[in-house]
């Protein structure tokens, strides 16, 4: 195959000639209210220590409140008006089977006290699988919650895969993180787990940009289905968790050389999805948060999953897990990007931007790719834009004036 080298209803009318998607309004939607004017000190940079298999977990390290280097300096939070509301539903439904807290000297998970030079102060990415725009948009039978979000927030009608339809998942996730799947030491074309040969020493990718930033920002990866077999640094697939849907573990400056289940830096930046609810309550999430449901809940499917209707199972998961995150971004000037890795029969996929600064019910026709996600995150976080995605469109069209980045 050819690898591409870069390439709740509020009654507010949609702006910019947008069309509104129909469906039930989601809980945890928009209401008036200003985002907080001051940051909250960051919380400890928890990780997960591996249990069993005779391997030790990561040892405790500095907490995020140790100073700006660990992403916890207090500062002004976003002053942009929020449209928050009470949320229902719990976050996280996986059975983790993991224990302990892992830190790492010099690591940075950041905290909600970290500030960025942007109207947006915190990012959540929720990664889903293998569906075309036409399978989601307007499908109020199988995806009522998502269609409610479409009516209340902004979406894209022209989010196109940079790969051919036959390309598997892993290169797509790598692209979200690095703006390419081709590196000097590895070209990712398959779906294998990280290893000495299926990993890269390349350091030009988002979370290492975050790590090296002077602003105290940080990152966390919340993965559903982690257990002792996946590792505290989850480089091994187990049960309904697959490493190929977790891009960070393929970079050796994150997971080690070779990638290791017990790498302390990696473990400090990975948490079981079960931890998210408490982290939201304690304002202990990072500035950049990447969330991957397991195969039963990300619309991919797998033998043993209880719901064979893949769209319905993913929509149910979102309805249970997204409201607390929506409440958080409404209160903290944040945004949730809901992205699919690839289509089913076409290369055109759904995409949503959920947050207080997005245009309500707006459908953008601007051309986007996975590089747009990386570029937009870099702009929001005040990072240099990678040359690999410099030509891609950012998500500015999805936001009200002055709300991006």
Structure-model confidence comparison of residues 251 and 15, the more confident one: 251
Q: For the chain, how are helix, strand and coil distributed in percent, rounded to 5?
A: 25, 15, 60
Structure-model confidence comparison of residues 253 and 27, the more confident one: 253
**CATH code, 334:** 3.40.720.10
pLDDT tens for 159-179 read 999 999 999 999 999 999 999
Q: Residue 79: its pLDDT value, please? A: 32
Let me know if residue 4 belongs to a domain.
no
Let me know if residue 2 belongs to a domain.
no
Beta-bridged to residue 351, according to DSSP, are 339
Calpha distance 397→169 (Å, rounded): 27
Calpha distance 287→116 (Å, rounded): 9
Structure-model confidence comparison of residues 337 and 214, the more confident one: 337
Let me know if residue 248 belongs to a domain.
yes
Calpha distance 55→235 (Å, rounded): 14
Domain that residue 373 falls in: 33-398
For the four alpha carbons of 222, 223, 226 and 231, in that order, the dihedral sign comes to negative
Let me know if residue 19 belongs to a domain.
no
Q: Residue 146: its pLDDT value, please? A: 98
Structure-model confidence comparison of residues 221 and 47, the more confident one: 221
Q: Record the pTM.
A: 0.76
Let me know if residue 150 belongs to a domain.
yes
pLDDT tens for 325-354 read 999 999 999 999 999 999 999 999 999 999
Contact 155, 351 (CB under 8 A): yes
Let me know if residue 11 belongs to a domain.
no
Q: Residue 268: its pLDDT value, please? A: 98
Domains in the chain, number: 1
SS3 sequence of 310-336 = HHHHHHHHHHHHHHHHHHHHHHCCEEE
- Tell me: pLDDT of 51 over 60: no
- Tell me: pLDDT of 94 over 90: no
Calpha distance 351→169 (Å, rounded): 17
pLDDT tens for 274-289 read 999 999 999 999 999 9
Using CA atoms, how far residue 323 sits from 29, 84, 92, 127, 141, in Å, is: 8, 10, 11, 16, 20
Where is 154: in which H helix or E strand? Answer: strand 154-156
């Amino acid at each position: 195959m050819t690898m591409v080298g870069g390439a709740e209803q509020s009654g507010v009318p949609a702006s910019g000639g947008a069309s509104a998607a129909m469906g039930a309004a989601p809980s945890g939607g928009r209401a008036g209210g200003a985002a907080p004017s001051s940051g909250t000190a960051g919380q400890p940079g928890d990780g997960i220590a591996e249990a069993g298999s005779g391997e030790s977990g990561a040892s405790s390290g500095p907490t995020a409140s140790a100073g700006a280097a660990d992403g916890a300096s207090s500062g002004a939070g976003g002053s942009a008006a929020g449209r928050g509301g009470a949320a229902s539903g719990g976050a996280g439904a996986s059975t983790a089977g993991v224990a302990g807290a892992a830190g790492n000297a010099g690591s940075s998970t950041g905290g909600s006290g970290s500030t960025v030079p942007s109207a947006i102060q915190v990012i959540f990415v929720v990664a889903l699988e293998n569906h075309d725009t036409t399978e989601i948009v307007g499908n109020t039978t199988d995806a009522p919650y998502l269609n409610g979000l479409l009516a209340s927030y902004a979406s894209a009608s022209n989010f196109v895969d940079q790969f051919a339809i036959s390309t598997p998942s892993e290169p797509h996730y790598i692209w979200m993180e690095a703006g390419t799947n081709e590196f000097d030491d590895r070209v990712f074309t398959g779906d294998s787990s990280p290893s000495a040969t299926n990993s890269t020493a390349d350091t030009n990718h988002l979370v290492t940009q975050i790590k090296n930033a002077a602003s105290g920002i940080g990152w966390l990866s919340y993965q559903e289905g982690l257990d002792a077999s996946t590792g505290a640094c989850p480089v091994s697939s187990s049960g309904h968790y697959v490493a190929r849907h977790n891009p960070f573990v393929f970079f050796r400056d994150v997971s080690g050389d070779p990638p290791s289940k017990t790498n302390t830096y990696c473990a400090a930046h990975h948490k079981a999805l079960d931890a998210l609810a408490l982290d939201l309550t304690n304002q202990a999430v990072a500035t950049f948060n990447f969330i991957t449901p397991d195969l039963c809940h990300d619309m991919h499917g797998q033998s043993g999953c209880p719901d064979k209707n893949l769209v319905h199972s993913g929509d149910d998961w979102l309805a249970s897990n997204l409201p607390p995150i929506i409440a958080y971004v409404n209160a903290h000037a944040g945004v949730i990007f809901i992205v699919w890795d690839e289509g089913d029969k076409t290369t055109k996929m759904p995409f949503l931007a959920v947050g207080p600064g997005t245009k309500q019910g707006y459908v953008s026709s601007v051309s986007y790719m996975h590089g747009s996600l990386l570029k937009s995150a870099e702009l929001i976080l005040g990072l240099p834009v990678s040359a690999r995605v410099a030509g891609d469109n950012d998500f500015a069209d999805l936001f009200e004036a002055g709300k991006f980045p």
